[in-house]
Structure 1
């Protein structure tokens, strides 16, 4: 699956080589919910730093709060306590419009279900974040086409989601997440609904785009093959993140 266009990129610098720029971090992140008279604590002081170009897996049991953590890191939900910084900016210090702008420019999102808009073509779906960010229609379409060609869908530009396979739809979702050249992409089980062969192709695609674009990835996954291929794996246990060496094992 080779790119049919040459993306305009800056050379990706491995985070380990130079200490790397921190693109996303959180401190003492806590989230709790009220259930009647009881308080359910989901996250209990999560600490995290993600550097430019880093690929990070977050694993944990179902119901451990992985998706909740991604929503907090992406500014889609509000923490009960603690701080989230994206591209150096504290999300809590921003108003709703500022948070939306920061998400649009600095973050990308990919979910287990692609969440494409069925009435729009692949090209239109991918162009959407750029149009929301006030790019011109011509520029948005050109960038969207380049990214779709980069993920191997140059012949599917005008196809609607219903005309694409599951793997193709997920490639469109990845292209949409990457088209703004964000600092970090948050992924929630991105290959959970795909067969193993298609999932492997998606893994290769994410690895190639990570190297070419220098974008960081935070991936919630139950897939041990995907987790093992990333730079590091963190386990969400009892509301806190623990590294492999703390656990004494490897996913």
Structure 2
């Protein structure tokens, strides 16, 4: 597997540098039920440079997963803008947003969300097949990525035949196989024991070094947050710099 992957994001907003792969401006999210309003996000500003490993921490219910879904184009903000690879998601139709997510973003969740009826190889090849790659190319790249995460001997195993840590490695391989500019992770080690979680941490560090892919990781894990390049805390609907001890539950 070629360990050096070049990423060429499209031209970004005029005030952003060409190295910014993911950004949002004045992002808000308001949930309404009758006359009641719940303001979850209040004018969030964020820029993620190429290759950065960013942690987002905050209290349960503070809106971390909501923010991640907005950044990934899986939900629509009440106001504000999300830019992926220099493109404003609000200017794209549903099909265009889907193609941009497939080519520029990867997703890893606390629960792996693998397709149980498919093998590890087939699960990892799925984003490439959706992106209209040939079956042969998709399987070859999926095999390379599974070998990169240490699962070269588990290609034909289905999720039920894999350990929790192995399933999460498959999920990470699936997120990385299309060589996205940025991978969004929601509690990627929250369902794992401590030893397995440390293995996943080391794996993410190595893949970041080898590929230059950015990682945005929502986590309650202080060890993981403290080991990344930058840590932002979601407080009262806004992102502030730094880890605040005691507010990560």
TM-score by length of 1: 0.92
1:145 aligns with 2:140: no
Which of 128, 145, 158 in structure 2 is aligned with 1:160?
Answer: 158
Which of 230, 233, 241 in structure 1 is aligned with 2:231?
Answer: 233
In the alignment, the residues of structure 1 paired with residue 181 and residue 35 of structure 2 have an alpha-carbon distance, to the nearest angstrom, of: 41
Which of 193, 198, 203 in structure 1 is aligned with 2:196?
Answer: 198
Q: Please name the residue that 1:9 is paired with.
A: 4
In the alignment, the residues of structure 2 paired with residue 10 and residue 117 of structure 1 have an alpha-carbon distance, to the nearest angstrom, of: 27
Give CA deviations for 1:217-239 in whole Å, capped at 9, x if unaligned.
Answer: 00000000000110010000000
Q: What's the CA shift for 1:244? A: 1.5
Q: What's the CA shift for 1:11? A: 7.0
* Change beyond 3 A, Cα 1:36–1:250: closer
Secondary structure at the aligned position of 2:40 is classed as strand
Q: Please name the residue that 2:107 is paired with.
A: 109
Q: Is this contact kept in 1: 2:29–2:39, CA < 8 A?
A: yes
Q: Please name the residue that 1:42 is paired with.
A: 40
Q: Is this contact kept in 1: 2:3–2:210, CA < 8 A?
A: no
Which of 68, 81, 87 in structure 2 is aligned with 1:89?
Answer: 87
- 1:19-34 alignment runs, 5 A limit: 21-34=19-32
Q: What's the CA shift for 1:7? A: 2.6
Give CA deviations for 1:103-123 in whole Å, capped at 9, x if unaligned.
Answer: 000000000000000000000
**Mind listing any 5+ residue stretches in structure 2 that lack a counterpart?**
8-16
Which of 121, 124, 129 in structure 1 is aligned with 2:122?
Answer: 124
Q: What's the CA shift for 1:9? A: 1.9
In the alignment, the residues of structure 1 paired with residue 213 and residue 246 of structure 2 have an alpha-carbon distance, to the nearest angstrom, of: 27
In the alignment, the residues of structure 1 paired with residue 246 and residue 48 of structure 2 have an alpha-carbon distance, to the nearest angstrom, of: 21
* Change beyond 3 A, Cα 1:205–1:20: farther
Q: Is this contact kept in 2: 1:44–1:240, CA < 8 A?
A: yes
Taking only aligned residues, the RMSD between alpha carbons, in angstroms, comes to 1.8
In the alignment, the residues of structure 1 paired with residue 189 and residue 3 of structure 2 have an alpha-carbon distance, to the nearest angstrom, of: 27
Give CA deviations for 1:155-210 in whole Å, capped at 9, x if unaligned.
Answer: 00000000000000000000000000000000000000000000000000000000
Q: Please name the residue that 1:170 is paired with.
A: 168
In the alignment, the residues of structure 1 paired with residue 18 and residue 197 of structure 2 have an alpha-carbon distance, to the nearest angstrom, of: 29
TM-score by length of 2: 0.93
Q: Is this contact kept in 2: 1:20–1:52, CA < 8 A?
A: no
Secondary structure at the aligned position of 2:169 is classed as helix
Give CA deviations for 1:100-146 in whole Å, capped at 9, x if unaligned.
Answer: 00000000000000000000000000000000000000000000000
Q: Is this contact kept in 1: 2:187–2:218, CA < 8 A?
A: yes
Q: Please name the residue that 1:3 is paired with.
A: none
**Mind listing any 5+ residue stretches in structure 1 that lack a counterpart?**
1-5, 13-18
Secondary structure at the aligned position of 1:171 is classed as helix
